[in-house]
Structure formats: structure tokens, C-alpha cells
């Protein structure tokens, strides 16, 4: 199982951070700082809470003057390479969020968020500034969208995502994404893949509340620039999973009725948690067609309800009178993002956004 992100913050990484701070600011009480951070509540804290505990304690042990404290953090950050991204330095933007929201600190805070995003990311820290000062902050984001540094341009998009994972919600942008779209318009053909991924993820966020709007944007943007085309395709992934017909047509996926499906079958009637289940099927076309193959698993949850997760199998172009057989193996091992429960589940085959058959099977307790 992959390491939990919260474990990036541990006694070793915090002690190293304290040592680096003390090297540039000698009065820093490194041992006391580590003890304060690693208090009795530490093990129960999740990622953002650990980040916040570090940031609050930085305020307790750095100079009381906000500008001087930022100067110390700047010297520490300079010892890390640009793009350093193991979450260690994300407590620096969080420090700005905690201590720098006062109006008198605005210019210092904006400059610090810009500097520190290059070494980690300020995507979480900008969000309370957006909530409190939307117009002013979105002007700043627009300026960052024109910056020469890709990390700062990415912040312009990532920081205003309506549904940023682990980030504070931006309900106004979920309701009306117009200010966000103005930023994405500037970045829709960005030369950096790092930035384009953020733009696509932002667009995908917006599609969850405004599918028709994103379908229209996709139609307007698509076909003009290969970098923009990549953004549009990746940004429409939720709409594709939901079988949005307008988006399916945009990307050339054939009428699902033109693709025949037969032989859909399970390899077994049951599977134990921790094991794998196979299923197979065959697709056939009379005429040339572009085909998107997916399957949905309806997982039974602890409360007895079902929740569907869509998985992509393949996207391919089939010539006329082509037949292609598939066997897919799906794991029922628990992972950090999914816990399995015994009960009746089902797998549904999806071709170009349309369900083409469903099969039930039993998930059993671990052997």
C-alpha cells in the first residue's frame, strides 16, 4: 500500500527542517520546536492538520515580526531545489495563511506565496485570501498566470480550482466559475505540461457543477492547438465517464449502437477480498469506428448502499469488420482510497458512454 502523504511530515523531516532554520536563524530553539510539533496529538492528525501544527509552531519560535519571520523562511527555502515537492515546505505557505491575512501584510504575503510556491505549492494557502478578497485576489491570480515561472503559472490555476482535493472549498466558484474561466483562458495553451494538467483538472472540477458549460467550452477550444486539445480531453474525463453525448461526439466516438458486444462473462461467480476477478467480452464493428471501452464496478459499502466507480479499459480506432476480444482482471485488494465489504456487487460494461450489460457477483470476506 502506498505511503500516506501525511507521513511525509514525521519527526525526521521536522527535525531536519528545525536544523535548517537554526542554521540561518541562530536563536531558533530547534529541540523545543520539534517537541511542540510532535505533541501528544500528532499521531491522530491528518495531512492538513499536521501542516497547520508545524505552521503555528513556526509562528511561536520565529521572530515576532512577520516580515522578519518570512525572511528566515526565505533563507531556508533557498537551500532546497526549485520544484522540491515532498510536502515538507508546504508549511511555509501555510504560515502565510495563518499569520499573513491582515491587510497590512497583503503585499508581503502575496510576494511570499509567489516565492514559496516555486519550492512547494501555495495552492491551499491562497484560498482563504480568495474567499476574503475575491476580486483583489483574482487580479493577483491573473498576474501570476502571465508569470515566466511555470510553478507560479500553475498556482494561478490550481489555487482557484472549485474542488481542490484537501483544499478549502470555494462555493462561489462552484456556483459561478466565471472568474476561474478567465484564468484558464490565459493558460489554455501553456507550454508547460505541469500547468496544463492543472488547467485540465480545474476544468474537470467545473464540469461536475456545470456540465453543459464545460461541453460548450470544449467545443470552442478543441481543434485549434494540440496543447489545448490535451487539456480539453483530460478536462472532460468526468463527462466522458458519464457518457455525455456532446463530448463523446466531439472526440469522435461512434454511436454505441454501431459497436456489437457479445460474450460478456465473469471468470467466477464470487471473489474474496484481497483477490482478483476476471471478466471477458468481445467487440465487433461493421464499419470503421472510434471506440471507448470502460467498465463500472458497483461496490457495496458498509451501509449497504452501492457506489459506482468507472475504470477505463481502452480507446481505439477499429477498422470495418473488426473483431477484438478482451479479458480484464480487477483487483479487490484494499487500498488507501478504497475498502471493500462483503456482499453482492456488479460489473457493467460501457461502450462509448452507453451501458452494454451488467453482471452480478459475490464479494466474500478475506480467506
In the predicted structure, residue 161 carries a pLDDT above the cut 70: yes
Q: What is the mean pLDDT of residues 77-100?
A: 86
Q: What is the mean pLDDT of residues 97-106?
A: 97
Report domain extents, the chain. 5-251, 256-364
Among 7-21, 137-151, 182-196, 216-230, the least confident range: 7-21
Question: Can you tell me the distance from the alpha carbon of 239 to that of 146, in angstroms, rounded to the nearest whole number?
Answer: 29
pLDDT in tens, 204-217: 999 999 999 999 99
pLDDT of res. 7: 83
In the predicted structure, residue 53 carries a pLDDT above the cut 50: yes
In the predicted structure, residue 85 carries a pLDDT above the cut 70: no
In the predicted structure, residue 61 carries a pLDDT above the cut 90: yes
In the predicted structure, residue 42 carries a pLDDT above the cut 70: yes
Question: Can you tell me the distance from the alpha carbon of 292 to that of 314, in angstroms, rounded to the nearest whole number?
Answer: 6
For residue 79 the three cell numbers come to: 537551500
Give the confidence band of 113 by pLDDT, cuts at 50, 70, 90: very high
For residue 220 the three cell numbers come to: 470552442
What separation, in Å, do the N-terminal and C-terminal C-alpha atoms of the chain show? 19
Who wins on pLDDT, 257 or 193?
193
pLDDT of res. 297: 98
- Share of residues in the chain with pLDDT > 90 (%): 89
pLDDT in tens, 332-357: 999 878 999 999 999 999 999 999 99
pLDDT of res. 5: 77
Fold of 256-364: Immunoglobulin-like (2.60.40)
Give the confidence band of 82 by pLDDT, cuts at 50, 70, 90: confident
pLDDT of res. 87: 72
pLDDT in tens, 271-285: 999 999 999 999 999
Q: What is the mean pLDDT of residues 188-214?
A: 98
Question: Can you tell me the distance from the alpha carbon of 211 to that of 205, in angstroms, rounded to the nearest whole number?
Answer: 10
In the predicted structure, residue 148 carries a pLDDT above the cut 60: yes
Supply the mean pLDDT for the chain.
95
In the predicted structure, residue 2 carries a pLDDT above the cut 60: no
Q: What is the pTM of this model?
A: 0.90
pLDDT in tens, 10-33: 999 999 999 999 999 999 999 999
Domain 5-251 maps to which CATH number in 1.25.40.290, 2.30.30.240, 3.90.1010.10, 1.10.10.60? 1.25.40.290
pLDDT in tens, 223-253: 999 999 999 999 999 999 999 999 999 999 9
In the predicted structure, residue 79 carries a pLDDT above the cut 50: yes
In the predicted structure, residue 37 carries a pLDDT above the cut 50: yes
pLDDT of res. 256: 79
Amino acid at each position: 500500500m502506498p505511503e500516506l502523504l501525511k507521513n511525509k511530515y514525521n519527526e525526521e523531516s521536522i527535525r531536519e527542517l528545525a536544523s535548517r532554520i537554526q542554521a540561518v536563524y541562530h536563536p531558533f530553539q530547534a529541540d523545543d520546536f520539534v517537541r511542540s510539533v510532535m505533541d501528544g496529538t500528532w499521531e491522530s492528525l491528518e495531512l492538513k492538520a499536521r501542516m497547520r501544527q508545524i505552521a503555528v509552531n513556526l509562528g511561536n519560535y520565529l521572530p515576532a515580526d512577520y516580515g522578519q519571520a518570512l525572511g528566515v523562511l526565505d533563507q531556508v527555502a533557498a537551500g532546497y531545489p526549485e520544484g522540491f515537492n515532498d510536502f515538507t515546505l508546504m508549511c511555509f505557505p501555510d504560515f502565510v495563511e495563518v499569520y499573513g491575512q491582515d491587510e497590512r501584510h497583503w503585499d508581503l504575503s502575496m510576494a511570499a506565496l509567489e516565492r514559496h510556491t516555486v519550492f512547494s505549492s501555495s495552492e491551499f494557502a491562497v484560498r482563504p485570501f480568495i474567499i476574503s478578497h475575491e476580486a483583489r485576489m483574482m487580479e493577483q491570480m491573473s498576474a501570476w498566470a502571465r508569470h515566466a515561472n511555470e510553478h507560479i503559472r500553475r498556482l494561478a490555476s490550481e489555487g482557484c480550482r472549485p474542488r481542490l482535493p484537501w483544499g478549502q472549498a470555494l462555493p462561489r466558484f462552484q456556483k459561478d466559475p466565471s472568474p476561474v474561466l478567465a484564468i484558464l483562458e490565459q493558460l489554455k495553451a501553456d507550454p508547460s505540461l505541469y500547468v496544463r494538467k492543472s488547467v485540465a483538472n480545474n476544468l474537470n472540477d467545473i464540469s461536475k457543477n456545470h456540465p453543459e458549460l464545460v461541453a460548450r467550452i470544449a467545443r470552442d477550444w478543441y481543434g485549434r492547438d494540440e496543447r489545448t486539445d490535451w487539456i480539453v480531453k483530460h478536462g472532460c474525463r468526468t463527462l466522458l465517464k458519464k457518457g455525455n453525448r456532446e463530448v463523446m461526439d466531439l472526440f469522435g466516438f461512434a454511436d454505441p449502437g454501431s459497436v456489437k458486444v457479445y460474450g460478456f462473462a465473469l471468470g467466477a461467480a464470487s471473489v474474496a477480498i484481497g483477490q482478483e476477478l476476471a471478466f471477458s467480452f468481445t467487440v465487433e464493428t461493421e464499419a470503421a469506428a472510434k471506440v471507448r471501452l470502460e467498465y463500472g464496478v458497483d461496490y457495496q459499502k458498509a451501509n449497504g448502499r452501492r457506489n459506482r466507480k468507472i475504470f477505463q479499459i481502452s480507446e481505439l480506432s477499429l477498422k470495418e469488420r473488426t473483431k477484438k476480444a478482451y479479458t480484464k482482471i480487477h483487483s479487490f485488494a484494499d487500498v488507501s482510497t478504497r475498502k471493500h465489504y462483503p456482499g453482492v456487487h456488479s460489473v457493467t460494461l460501457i461502450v462509448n458512454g452507453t451501458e452494454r450489460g451488467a453482471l452480478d457477483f459475490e464479494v466474500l470476506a478475506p480467506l
